[in-house]
Chain A
Amino acid sequence: MKQCEMLVIGGGPAGLSAAIEAAEAGVKVIIVDANEKAGGQLFKQIHKFFGSSMHRAGIRGMNIGQELLERCEKLGVEIWLDSLAIGMYKGNIVAVDVKKSLTEHKLEKIQAKKVVIATGASENAVRFPGWTLPGVMGAGAAQTMVNFHRVLPGKKVLMIGSGNVGLIVSYQLMQAGAEIVGIVEAQPKINGYAVHASKLTREGIPIYTGYTIVEACGDERVNKAIIAKVNPDWSIEPGTEITLDIDTIAIGAGLKPLIGMSYMSNCHLMNDRFLGGWAPCHNYSMETTTKDVYVAGDASGVEEANTAIEEGKVCGIAIAQALGYLEEKKAEQMKKDAWGRLAGLREGAHGAERTAAKERQLLEYKKVMEG
């Protein structure tokens, strides 16, 4: 069995940042990542990020991903690609399914002194007649196709959901040459940032607030979508149906944390709708209720890449400290700075609910540990 000081499950913004902070202090780190390239969602985030200069604001996500990978390489962080963590056992043993070739897989076991769960989140589906037709997909899936694999999922796209994911992916599909037929939002108001919505409206994209998708039609593939106004009790207002000529439906209905590893390592989970549902609670070092198991990024509650990076840093610093690579005073100051940057990212009306939810997680951790 392979032994290491620190094992990071998931090489996205959170996992890479955790690895970098720890490796900088001298910790030997292994990252396992299920994909052929590490970076998580960063390489499909071709837009410039919000934040301030200390969070790399104004830089495109893909460039941040490149920078993080280069730093990992320089620091000698070992990254296992095509390596899917399939289970976690007592004693911090993680089972990893490593793809050696198209047909050959090998099961490896890694035992680590400290484990960081940075597995990210998965997309929520929406149920309507026809949602299983080819051409109906998650907004994140459409973004992966267009920005990572450089394949346009369709020419005439209907987006379901006006959160930041729905708005940003719509914009990027347009940049790649697709037409956005419309954006449907069941709530009376646009969910994401208005600046993202305005980028689309000035190109003439209609945003149907107060509408829902009623049905996706088509035989071999979706070719029509029927949308209609929703009443406050979620019933359809008869006579308001609109049929749209489309070839793709992308669903941006939010994300939920991937909790498999957290559950299997016996972390205490709590449900909070502002963080996407079930997620492990943790302390100020991002350590879960299971000793030596840490969590960062969307796996600890759905937010965005900048907060994932900062949470990852907290993990890396805390682990370096716990393993004796960083002296306490310095580590505590570094953690405090990272939490300060996190607070900055959670400012504003859009962040208030997440700030409160994150506080509930910290409180729950305390309650559980004090028993």
Chain B
Amino acid sequence: MKLKETGVLTTADLKEMGRYPSEERMKKGPVAVAECVQDIPCNPCETSCPFKAIHVGENISNLPNVNVDVCNGCTTCVAACSGLAIFVLDKSYSDSVGKVSFPYEYGHSFKVNDVVKAADRSGKNVCDGKILKITNTQKADKTTIITLEVPIEWVDEVRSIYRDRQQQLVKEVLSEKLGDDVMVCRCEEITAGEIRAAIRQGATDITGVKLRTRAGMGLCQGRTCEALVNQIIRQELGNSPEEIGFSTPRTPQRPVTFGTLGGDLDE
């Protein structure tokens, strides 16, 4: 399964895990498929199902199991799933076309009977689809459910509406910027080279670098650069987080005017 590398689940992955409804079941009528294969602590699918067809159990990071004999494909769980990972499939419609219902949370101007380009799990346009239904319920809290009619052979693949992305990839040669020129502390304008020089002078921790370079002494008080300085020390010296330490927090935590600090004269 390549899911962790690509972010794309496949029908074959789901079938292999025994988490996909059978052809026979889909031919009988609509049925939910939970394309949820990681142990996420979550169970709204189970609690939302009006027919108790989904089981997660007491340990909420169990995977949801759909009882396909009880599920009637009502789509309640499609909107309830916080991960937008449940779909309803139906191959009972006819021999040539089937239905796919999926959650859709983007602004759109689609209407019922519009013919749109349908996308598979990787966003590729695989076929056309006709919009049969656009459902918005109060309970679904702004998660729209779109039901598409697609050629029956694409029911297992279609999961959204295709979006045209015209991104051109160009090969280009890297500029010759040296790592030492890169800014690390943007408040005090200290570069990686200056940090490295401070380390060569003997700095071994955040405070040592700070005293030598002023990195972390600006407006943000090291909020942004501390982790970057930490990384450079680690790379240069291999010190542990305990040895590197952190920027000592002092009052005031963020800049305040002398007037504010001094307070009213009569106080």
Contacts and interface: CB of A to CB of B under 8 A. Distances in A.
A127 B217 CA distance: 18
B42 A50 contact: yes
Contacts of A2: none
A241 B253 contact: no
CB-based closest 9 A-B pairs: A204-B123, A87-B251, A195-B83, A197-B7, A348-B61, A348-B39, A58-B44, A260-B249, A86-B252
A127 B184 contact: yes
Secondary structure of the A contact surface, majority rule: mixed
A370 B42 CA distance: 38
Contacts of A271: 241-242
A346 interface: yes
Secondary structure of the B contact surface, majority rule: loop
Nearest to A196: B83
Contacts of B263: 106-107
A53 B47 contact: yes
B3 A194 contact: yes
A347 B61 contact: yes
Given A85-B253, A202-B120, A277 B231 contact: no
Interface of B: 3-9, 35-44, 47-48, 59-61, 80, 82-85, 105-107, 119-124, 141-143, 159-160, 162-163, 165, 167-175, 177, 179, 181-184, 186, 192, 223-225, 227-228, 231, 241-242, 246, 248-254, 256-257, 259-261, 263
Interface of A: 47-53, 57-60, 63, 84-88, 95, 97, 105-107, 122, 124-129, 131-132, 162, 174-175, 177, 179, 181-182, 188-190, 193-205, 207, 209, 214-215, 217, 226, 228, 241-245, 256, 259-261, 263-264, 271, 273, 277-278, 344-351
Given A195-B85, A242-B171, A52 B122 contact: no
A107 B261 contact: yes
Contact of B82 (A58, A86, A174): A58
Contacts, number: 233
Given A53-B44, A86-B251, A190 B256 contact: no
Contacts of A60: 141-142
Contacts of B248: 263
B262 to A, nearest CB: 8
A203 B171 contact: no
B39 to A, nearest CB: 4
Nearest to A351: B41
Contacts of A209: 5-6
A244 B167 contact: yes
Given A129-B181, A182-B167, 12 more contacts: A48-B141, A50-B83, A53-B47, A86-B254, A125-B224, A129-B175, A175-B105, A228-B174, A245-B170, A260-B253, A264-B251, A349-B39
